[in-house]
Every structure is written in C-alpha cells, then in structure tokens.
Amino acid sequence: MTKAATASDTKYLFKRHETWWVKVAVPRTLRERLGYDLRRSLETHDLEQARQSRWAVVDEFRARIEQAQEERSDSPARHVSKPVDIDAAEFEKQSGTRLIHEHIVEVVSDSGEGAQKCGQILGLVSGKMGNGVWTVEIIPAEIQPPARERQGASGIRVRMGAKYVTNMGDEADMVVAFNEQVLYSRIMNGAYKKGTVVLLESMWSEDPEDRIRKQYAEALADFREQGLIVHELPIQKECLKIVKDPRKGKNMFVLGMLCRIYHRDIDKAKGEIAKTFRRKSEKVISTNHELFDAGYRFAAENLDYEFEIHSAEEDRLESAIVVNGNTAAGLGVMAAGIDLVAMYPITPATSASHYLADDFHLTGGFVHQAEDEIAAIGFAIGASYAGKTACTITSGPGMALKTEMIGLAVMAEVPLVIIDVQRGGPSTGLPTKVEQGDLLSCLYGMPGDSPKVVLAASTISECFHFVILARKLAESFRTPVIMLTDANLATGVQPIERPAVTEEWFAPPVDQSAWDKEVSPYDWDETTGLSDRPIPGMRGGEYILTGLAHNRDSKIAYDTASNQEGMDMRSRKLAALAETMRPPEIHGDPAGDLLLVSWGSTVGAIEEAVDLARAEGRQVSSLHLRFLSPLEPGLKEIFSGFKKVLTIELNYSDDPDAPLINAETRRYSQLALVLRAHTLMDVDCWSVVPGHPLSPRTIGEVIDARIDRIEGAEACSA
Amino acid sequence: MFGLKGDWSLDVKDRYFTLEDYCGAEPRWCTGCGDHGILAAVHRVCRDAQVKPEMTVAVSGIGCSSRLPHYMNTYGFHGLHGRALPVACGIKSRRPDLDVWVATGDGDCFSIGCAHWIHAMRYNMDLTMLVFDNGIYGLTKKQTSPTTPLDVPTNTHPSGALLPPLNPLTVTLGVTNISFVAQIVDWNAPLRHEVIRMAHEHKGTSFVRIIQRCPVYVEAIGKALQDEPARMKLLTHENGVELDDSVKRMFPNNAEHDPSDLAAARALAEDDTALPLGILYHNTDAPRYDQMSSAGLDMSVDEKLSGLNKALDQFAI
Ligand SMILES: Cc1ncc(C[n+]2csc(CCOP(=O)(O)OP(=O)(O)O)c2C)c(N)n1
Ligand code: SF4
Ligand SMILES: [Mg+2]
C-alpha cells in the first residue's frame, strides 16, 4: 500500500458536515461484531491535514479488525446468534444481551396476516428509539393470493442500525415466517444467508392435510440444509389462548416477540398499536395489547436471543419524524402550500393520497379522486390555471394517460406539480415493485417538443423537500414539473430530520391585483423565456388559453414565426434554469477508475457500496443526479476524471453478452442513453429489473467486476 | 379568500357591461352554422346578468364548437379534445367565485369525453354546460359522431351510420345527482335564450343539449326538424320555461311538464316520436361538489402553519 497522496486522494476519508472522517470497511464475516465500518472524526476541515493524520487511525482500525479475526478463528464459526437447541454449551457462554451494530429482520406471511403492520411498528419504534431504520415492504400484487404460496409472500424487511441507514442492506439476520412456503420466494430473492435465524410457525406440522404436513417437513429439512437456523414456534397455539382467529392478531404477538428480542421500548410499541387501531373499538386495542404482551413473554421464556442496538451519536437527528416516502411526499404537498391534489388510485402512489385524505384539511387543501388519470390532471390544470397551486400524483400507467395533458400544460405554460411514484412497467407490469422505468417517457413521452422540469427524489427526506422545490420551479418557470419517486421510497420508512416549517412555503402563487392591459399573457423575456401569467379574476388580463400554437397574445397562430418563437421560449426556460444550477457533488474522489452514475432511490445502496469498495482500496466514486431535465451542469468534466463511467439503474438494458447483442444492437438503460447524448461520451450502463431495490452487496460485486476489467486500474487492497 | 384581493366584493355596480364587453374575436364558423346563434345567446345572458368579464371563464374542448371561448372577451380555456369538463371542474373546485361556462360538441362530450360527462353530471358543480350537438364531427370534416342519425352518410361510414344514435338525454337523466337537464334547438331564439338564461342562473351543473345545425356537412339533420316542427314537443311549466304564445305557436306539439318530475322527464326523453324541448329536469337541492371541494379556502397562513406542524407532530419521535 502506498501512502503517497495524489491531488485528489481521499482514500479512507469522507466528509460529514464539513469535517473529515476516517472510515475503514469491516470484512463481511466480522460485520456482526464490528458493524459495517469503523469510523472516527479527524476533527479537521482541512483535507491536507486529514490526509496526514488518517494513517494512525487506519492502522489502529486494521489492528482491531485483525484481532477480531483472530478471536473469531479461536472459536468455532459462529453465526449471528447460536440457538440454544443446537449448541447449549456455546450458548451459555454468550447468553445475556448482545450489543449489535445493526440487524436486518424480516416478517413474512400470507397476504392479510398483517406482517407489514408488525414490521412497520417495529421500524417506527426503533426510529423513535434513535436508531437508523429502513423498512421495505414485500408486497404481492393480489390482495388475497392463495394461502401458502411461494409467490404470494407478503411481508416486510426492517433494517435497524446504530447509524443512519439509507437502504435495505444485504441478507437478513432474523426472519419470522407464518408458514414455510412463503420463505421460498425470499430465498429465491437471495434475502437470507447461512446463519439467518428463522422463527417459524409450527402449526403446519400438525395440519390435518397430509400434503401440508409433508410440505412442511420437506421445507424444514431443506432450510436447515441451506444453513438457515430454524426454530419451530407454536405461535398459532399461543395466540389461540387469546383470540379465536389468530390470522388477525398473530402479527401483534410476533411484534411482542421481536420487541423482546431487540429490547424495544414497550410503551412506544403499545402506543403505536393503539394508534394503528384508533378507528376501532377499545376492545380491539386491548386485545392487540394482550397479544403483544403474550408474544413478549413468550420470547422471554422460550427464546434465547436478546440484542441491543445502541444509537450512534454522530448520526442522531436533531429532531426527527418517522415517515415513508409517500407520507413524506404528502407532507411535502402540504408544506409546499399546495391547495389541491387530484388523483386516481394506482399502486404504489395511492398511499400518498390516503395520507392527504386524512390530513390535508389541516393546511386547507382538498384531495379530488377523479374518474380517471386524465380527469385528475385536467382538474389540477384547471385549478392551477385559476391561480391555485395544484398537484397530481400517479404511477407509470397513469402517467401514460396523462401525457396529452402534460403536453397541454407545457404548451400553455401552466404550472403544475406531477408526482410519479414509479413501479415496474410496461403496461400493468409490476404494480407493487420498484423500477426506474419512467425516465424517458417523462422526458420525451409527449407529442412534439415538450420541455419541462424533471427531478428525482433519492431519499425519503427529498420526497418531502422536492415537492416544495417542484412547486417553486413550476411557478417561477411557468411549467409542469415532474417529480419522480418509486415504490422503494414510497414504502420505505425512515426517521428523517423534521423540516423547519416556514411561512414562505404558503405564499400564494401570484399577486392577483389588476393586470396591465398592455402586457401580453405570454410576455416572453427573450433571454430566459420567462413571463408572468394573468389569473382569472385579474381585470385587464382576460385571455384565452389554448393548446394550439399561439403567439404572445395567446391568439391561435399557425404562422412559422410564431410557432418557432413559442417553441424557442418554452425551451429557453430550461436553459435559464440550468444556468442557476451548480455541478452535482461527487461521492468519493473526483478522479479514479470507475464512476457510478445514478438517480432516484438507489443512492443509499450505491454510496454504501462505494464506501466499502473505497475502503478496500478501489478507485471508485459515485455521482447522483437529482435533476434529469435540465441536467445539472459540468457532467462532461466530471466524467472525464474517470477511466470508466457506468450508470447503475433499475430499468431495462440489454446485457452486452446476450445473444445478438453487440455495439449496434445494444439498448442502453435510460439515464445512460440520456447521458450519452448529452456528453457524447462512452457512458456504459449496468441495469437490472429485479422488482426489488438494489443491495449494497450487488453493487459491490458490479464494482469489483467492472474495475477488474479496466486496464491499469488499482487492485483491491483489502 | 386566500390569494385574492379581499375588496372585490365591494366592487359593485360601478361598471355597466354592454354586449361588446363580452365579444371576443370575430367568429370563424361557417355561414349558417348554428353556433353563431348560441354564441349570441351566451353574450346576451352574460350582459343581462352583468357578470364581470374578468370573473368569467369559458372552457372548451376541441371542435368547431369548442372555438367559442375565443369569441368571448372573458377568460377562456381552449384545452384538449374531450377534456373540457375536468378542467372546468378543476377551476370551479378552488375558485367558486368564478362564473364557469363549458362549450363542448357531440364528439367532444359524448364520445371521447364520455367518462367526464357522466362524472361531471354527478359532481354537479356550478357550471353552465352547453353541448353543441350537430350530429357530426365538424372540425375534422364529417365523421360519424355518437349522435349521427342512422343512415346519414359520413366520411367514416359512407353508406350511412351503422348504429342507432346515442340518446344523450336518457343517459344524462340516468345519472345520479343530476340537477338541470334541458334541450333546445339553435334556431329558436326565444327558447334558446330563455333556457340558457335559466341554465346560467341554476346553481349546479346545467346540462343543455343544443340541436345545432351544421349546414356544411349534415344539412339534412336540422332541415328535417325545421321542416316538420311536429317532430318536436315544447315543454312549458311555471317552474320551467314560460314562453309567449307566439313562440308556442311555432310548435304544434306542446305540453305542460313539471321539471321536478324525474320519471316524467325520463319518459319524455325516451319518446322517440317527439324531441322534447325546454327544461326536462330541474332540482335545486342536489348536493354540489364545488361546495365540498372548496373547503379550507378561507384559512390564514398562520392556521396553515400550525396545521402543518400538527401534521408533523404525529410522526415526531
Ligand atoms: C386526442 C384527439 N383525438 C382526436 C382529435 C381530432 N378531433 C378534433 S375535433 C374532433 C371531433 C369534433 O367533433 P365534435 O366534438 O362533435 O365538435 P364539432 O366540430 O362538431 O363542433 C376530433 C376527432 C383531437 N384533437 N385530439
Ligand atoms: S363545419 Fe359545421 S359545425 Fe363546423 S363551423 Fe361549419 S357549419 Fe359549423
Ligand atoms: Mg359535432
């Protein structure tokens, strides 16, 4: 390892709040004990100073890792937690509570058994206890798929950590399964590892049907064969002591178990249960509390897993709210001073409107459920034309229906916020699953030239703040603004910094005093394309908005000059916006072997993978784009600092090694296509459509594989 | 109201509006087109009601008839084919102070905009909705519309429309929560004015189907009725239209019809021997969605701020 620093050398370093920190990745086998990485602040803002002082810390961290490795090889290979029934003696040694850095827990069940609610509450409680949390829902497309189906798994993953968590992580440490079949779909998704602890409902072993008993026995053997540590638990039986039909209620029993295992705050958990059932009777709440208590006791008496997750001081939020991306977007709508949301139900966007339906009245807003998506956006456009701030929320198929209206909003320059919570496409596609497949259709999906602003939120916090930004841009630039999020953000729950509310957000869109009759309704500024708009009610501003080609007076104009001018002016607004933007910030060194470029919800997993690879000596950095139209400036220059530029996306591209695929036939992923056109550089892509978020592990593998192919690239040092 | 100048309500009667104040660009419809007369009626009704041009919005889709906003000197929204109603409803939803008109055609409303038609009727927002039904697609040059009569040749069905025409009245009268359904012919000025006036006065969605002549493409449709007034039936009532005897005499077929009687209205609409003219149905008590959707407009910025904080509190750790 060379200790010479090049101009851009930030090896082992990262910056947080202007201060430089050292970070050394922990080998995978030791993460259970030491966490993902070891880090310490160097307490300096100066990069040069940080470069010098880092080595002492790096050496110390390495020593700790080595020591841990030795200790580990002293004892027989240990899994996450050794179950008592497998090795009683070993357990004795480590009984009592273990302090852990993070754990990934899953609850999987048939649909309708409430696994999600259980995990959501676990996540909420953990967030409230100051832990970093990320939860993702595992959702089947049908409301009630047949029971015990491998494809029908419904559930949730909760990643709880000492530090701020930005993604769903790699394999789970602990899973509670309501039946054995649903575990298979998760196994196929690579959700578990050797040593993952499975707490499995045991009622199936006594099922009256031979077939089911047999399936159960086979699966059990199969799981153990695969290295899962399975404990059979009589959850149903225990719940029957309290309720007649444990299908409703088992989840709260399991929540009790998990709260005991992870030392979660009982009062907070019970408070959340009460909130969940607030529209039901007192009786329902008390029964669920009873189930929770029973689960808690059951775990205390029968399970020997006990963990404590402390919360990291440096990542602790000043004051936090715990929300999913759709609720964040709903709150963002309220905070943006938006007045009307018009929508038509579509997964995974709808829950944003569900939230608004509950609370929008608090800021004087109204949710209109329209007869279809076209009507929804038409309604929003009407309200906006009339001087109100409006928004429409949908997902891919709804976007497809809205295209003509978006074109109208572009043509007639009607400000509008459009939120597209992306799901898998094309057609009805994967309604509940994540994909980043709408970028090109948002950019180019309307007839004719249709320049508009397109942004993509990449975190749950951005789901909130970008609505406010979108509203501002929509009004300042007199244009529709599309804000992209996705199914991963929509259902991911996380504690985020509580936004500091300001009065400014509620400013009315325009001052509605009289309009100077001499000023045209499209009084375009030649340089920026910008103009003010009259609003019905303004005396002197009367004009007829039209979707036909028009001149500055909004008069239908088919002549060449008017058409050219209108097109120019609408397009120029994007250039004017780009003019105000700064180049995006690079995560990692500004030069190196490989640059990953991404957008949307993948940022957390990508940056985690990049940090790890960098800590292992890889010359890799990442760049995350928030603006897709116009693009942030300076991309060409940034790209030129790397030997290879690769987009990482959750949308389709041809695998270069697939049959018939060559340089001419290969179809690139969506951002790659845009960037290739934008920079005229050979931007490559790695993109997949797995229907679930990317894990840091997967991205890490891509980094390794790609760098190994780059000639002259720095080899891995760890 | 939030975002609007508070003193508008004090701005009374210091202005008197003449017909010219409502006239926009010179209409470009064909000579003899029924649209001219309808436009004249709209101008007159606005003048008589002394609505402020800046508080009036004419919304339309696409078609010959949807050019109407350009011929008004008010605000206007000439949007997409079939989509006038969602836009109009959106305007009204948060600006109940505006006087909103909708101009739409038989293709615009009954075909491509069919879903919006049904649902807008049910929303019953305060809109004055005029359907210019010429039984043909005019702007795109003579294609079959849902109301083209059987056997009338068009460019898409040169040997005549294949299916019996849709009856917009029975459809409309079948929608829950309708509040005003009327039918007129463009060429009878007193009836035309009276019905459009009442439609405008009505609080709720007033659906007025106007049999409109398109002499260029389907002259026969209008002519058949003009030549044979017995094929129409004039409905009068003290709660409906009341017309001079001179007008009544133009219609040999005359009947008293109480517009509050929905069953009778449906029966009249279904009777294909005589086209009912006048007000078929009128109900002033139907719930209005614009009154619901405008909730919260009077909130102050301070109230909103504390509302937002309250919302955030629920998720606070
Ligand atoms: C999405 C879309 N489809 C088709 C058209 C073409 N188009 C314009 S007007 C029209 C029909 C107009 O007929 P109608 O609504 O009866 O109005 P009229 O011209 O007869 O008054 C059609 C098909 C369009 N503008 N947009
Ligand atoms: S084509 Fe027919 S409907 Fe269109 S303007 Fe001419 S006469 Fe009127
Ligand atoms: Mg027509």
pLDDT tens string A454-470: 999 999 999 999 999 99
Residue B7: per-residue pLDDT: 46
Report the separation in Å between the CA atom of B83 and the middle of ligand 1, taken as the mean of its atom positions: 11
Asked if B127 contacts B92 with a C-beta cutoff of 8 angstroms, the reply is: yes
Nearest 5°: phi and psi at A281? -80, 165
As a whole number of angstroms, the distance between CA B113 and CA A501 comes to: 41
Side-chain-side CA neighbours of residue A686 (13 Å):
20
Host domain of residue B275: 2-313
Q: Tell me the per-residue pLDDT of A667-692, one tens digit each, with 9 for 90 and over.
A: 999 999 999 999 999 999 999 999 99
Q: Tell me the per-residue pLDDT of A76-106, one tens digit each, with 9 for 90 and over.
A: 333 333 333 333 333 333 457 888 989 999 9
pLDDT under 50 in chain B at which residues? 1-9
Structural domain count of chain B:
1
Name the residue at shortest CA distance from atom 8 of ligand 2: B33
Q: Which of residues 547-566 of A touch B (CB under 8 A)?
A: 547-548, 555-556
Contact B308 A385 (CB under 8 A): no
The number of beta carbons lying within 10 Å of the beta carbon of residue A206 is 12
- Across A564-580, average pLDDT: 98
Choose the closest CB to B86 out of A327, A382, A388: A382
Residue A470: per-residue pLDDT: 98
Q: Tell me the per-residue pLDDT of B34-77, one tens digit each, with 9 for 90 and over.
A: 999 999 999 999 999 999 999 999 999 999 999 999 999 999 99
As a whole number of angstroms, the distance between CA B126 and CA B135 comes to: 27
**Which chain B residues are within 8 Å of A375, Cβ to Cβ?**
83, 85-86, 115-116, 119
Closest CA to A232 of A195, A206, A259: A206
Residues of chain A with CATH 3.40.50.920: 586-717
Confidence category of residue A189, pLDDT binned at 50, 70, 90: confident
Q: What kind of fold does domain A586-717 have according to CATH? A: Rossmann fold (3.40.50)
**Which chain B residues are within 8 Å of A322, Cβ to Cβ?**
315, 317
As a whole number of angstroms, the distance between CA A356 and CA A362 comes to: 10
Contact B312 A383 (CB under 8 A): no
**Which amino acid is located at B58 in the chain?**
A
**Which chain B residues are within 8 Å of A268, Cβ to Cβ?**
none
Residues of chain A with CATH 3.40.50.970: 321-505
Contact B295 A361 (CB under 8 A): yes
Residue B13: per-residue pLDDT: 63
Q: How far is A394 from chain B (nearest CA, A)?
A: 17
Ligand 2 contact, B30 CB (< 6 A): yes
Report the separation in Å between the CA atom of B8 and the middle of ligand 3, taken as the mean of its atom positions: 39
Confidence category of residue A34, pLDDT binned at 50, 70, 90: confident
As a whole number of angstroms, the distance between CA B106 and CA A427 comes to: 31
Residue B4: per-residue pLDDT: 43
Q: Tell me the per-residue pLDDT of A228-244, one tens digit each, with 9 for 90 and over.
A: 999 999 999 999 999 99
Beta strands in A296-398 (DSSP E): 307-309, 320-324, 340-343, 366-369, 390-394
Q: Which CATH architecture has domain A86-315?
A: 3-Layer(aba) Sandwich (3.40)
Contact A319 B317 (CB under 8 A): yes
At the fourth CATH level, the homologous superfamily of domain A321-505 is Thiamin diphosphate (ThDP)-binding fold, Pyr/PP domains (3.40.50.970)
Asked if A333 contacts A400 with a C-beta cutoff of 8 angstroms, the reply is: no
Contact B98 A386 (CB under 8 A): yes
Report field, pTM of the whole predicted structure over 0.95:
no
Report the separation in Å between the CA atom of B152 and the middle of ligand 2, taken as the mean of its atom positions: 16
Ligand 2 contact, B145 CB (< 6 A): no
Position with higher pLDDT, A322 vs B130: B130
Mutate: best of B26, B54, B114, partner A, most A CBs <10 A:
B54
Q: Which of residues 9-48 of B touch A (CB under 8 A)?
A: 24-25
- Across A33-53, average pLDDT: 86
As a whole number of angstroms, the distance between CA A520 and CA A244 comes to: 72
**Which chain A residues are within 8 Å of B5, Cβ to Cβ?**
512-513
Here the CATH number for the domain that contains residue B234 is 3.40.50.970
As a whole number of angstroms, the distance between CA A24 and CA A36 comes to: 9
